[in-house]
Amino acid sequence: MNPFRWTFRAQFLLGFAICAGLLGFALYLEHFQGLVPCPLCTFQRGAFLLLAAVFLLGALHSPKSKGGRRVYALLSLLAAGLGVSIAGRHVWLQNLPPDQVPACGPDLSYMMEAFPLGDVLRKVFTGSGECALVDWSFLGMAMPAWSLVWFVLLALWALYAGFRSRKTYTFR
């Protein structure tokens, strides 16, 4: 048996741990470094939370059938795809020329209280000036770009875990 062939459960637990670590880092930056998340950052956190939930459910269930593993892989792909679309929009906003950046709007908590959900989603995805602000970067990439990278990597990891062939070993 190849010791480097992880089980589906171990692969999905790693996906969950990575999502939890990324969310923990975002909370650290918010509460200890004073970085206030913009609405698109908040939605990206929601996508990471959804992806973490799918990874955790898949790991706990650990289906033995190909079909079951593939369902969890596709659910992970949907959650990661949502994250890719949000982070991609955020990266696009951050790379707009300064004269094309939308004006800043109200914060997300106020919008959730004052407007219908459809209007809130439209406003958030349209973006605002605060979403175009780059206040943290690592190796030349801002946080939304790193989120985009992680969503893509986690989607590929889930697809690998769900669709790779698994050899069955019989003991005689």
pLDDT digits (tens, 9 = 90+) for 11-38: 999 999 999 999 999 999 989 988 888 8
pLDDT digits (tens, 9 = 90+) for 41-57: 888 999 999 999 999 99
Q: How many residues does the chain have?
A: 172
Using pLDDT thresholds of 50, 70 and 90, give the confidence band for residue 119. low
| CATH 1.20.1550.10, applies to 8-163 | yes
Delimit the domains of the chain by residue range.
Answer: 8-163
Task: Return the amino acid letter for 6.
Answer: W
pTM for the full predicted model: 0.79
Cα–Cα distance measured from residue 51 to residue 71, given in angstroms and rounded to the nearest whole number: 14
pLDDT at position 124 is 59
Cα–Cα distance measured from residue 87 to residue 110, given in angstroms and rounded to the nearest whole number: 22
Nearest to 105 by CA among 68, 130, 87, 80: 130
What average pLDDT is seen over the chain? 82
**Whether 72 contacts 162, CB under 8 Å:** yes
Cα–Cα distance measured from residue 107 to residue 34, given in angstroms and rounded to the nearest whole number: 16
pLDDT at 164 over 80: yes
